[in-house]
């Protein structure tokens, strides 16, 4: 009888300690990061077209998962350009796209677009902001602009408007 009672209390102690370990583990897992789209954004600027050259500048972009980015697509050239990377599009959660207007050197929003984004076209003299949080890593080589260049009969991509994206 006495030894049985000792065994029971030992088992109870063991169960109790296992329970407390489990509770500790669950409580640490339950510490969430909160709303990742409400961080202060990291601003990344990309020029679409450099003078008359159909180029992305910079042509290599780096992002980290879990951080909020404000990717500012600026077209100061005389041609329209696309920012297209399906690899990036499917690896990010898009918070919004903001279409900007410039008045006296100051930029303000004319529209906010919510939802999944595949690609963005920016017309000469304009800028668009794509706010997103990368959720999957990848080394991407599919950034390109598929606009046709009428003078050469080639696409901007064929003329060298391509880029790479690294998501760590």
Which residues of the chain form contacts with Cu ion (CB under 5 A)? 54, 81, 145, 147, 156, 161
CB of 62 to Cu ion, least distance (A): 22
55 or 91: CB nearest Cu ion: 55
Number of H helices, E strands in the chain: 2, 13
122 or 133: CB nearest Cu ion: 122
Alpha-carbon distance 67 to 40, whole Å?
Answer: 9
138 or 163: CB nearest Cu ion: 163
89 or 161: CB nearest Cu ion: 161
Q: How far is CA 18 from CA 11, 94, 98, 138, in A?
A: 10, 41, 51, 39
Contacts of 134 (CB under 8 A, 6+ apart): 63, 64, 65, 66, 67, 69, 88, 91, 92, 167
CB of 74 to Cu ion, least distance (A): 13
Alpha-carbon distance 110 to 28, whole Å?
Answer: 43
CB of 133 to Cu ion, least distance (A): 26
- Return the number of other C-beta atoms located less than 10 Å from residue 159's C-beta: 16
CB of 93 to Cu ion, least distance (A): 26
């Amino acid at each position: 009888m006495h030894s049985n009672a000792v065994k029971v209390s030992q088992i109870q102690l063991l169960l109790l300690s296992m329970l407390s370990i489990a509770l500790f583990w669950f409580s640490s897992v339950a510490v969430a990061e909160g709303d990742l789209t409400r961080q202060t954004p990291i601003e990344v600027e990309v020029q679409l077209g450099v003078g008359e050259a159909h180029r992305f500048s910079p042509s290599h972009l780096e992002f980290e998962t879990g951080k909020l980015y404000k990717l500012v697509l600026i077209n100061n050239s005389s041609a329209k350009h696309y920012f297209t990377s399906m690899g990036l599009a499917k690896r990010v959660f898009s918070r919004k796209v903001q279409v900007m207007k410039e008045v006296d050197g100051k930029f303000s929003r004319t529209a906010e677009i919510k939802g999944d984004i595949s690609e963005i076209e920016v017309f000469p003299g304009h800028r668009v902001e794509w706010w997103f949080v990368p959720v999957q890593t990848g080394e991407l080589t599919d950034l390109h602009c598929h606009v046709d260049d009428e003078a050469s009969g080639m696409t901007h991509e064929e003329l060298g408007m391509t880029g790479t994206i690294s998501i760590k």
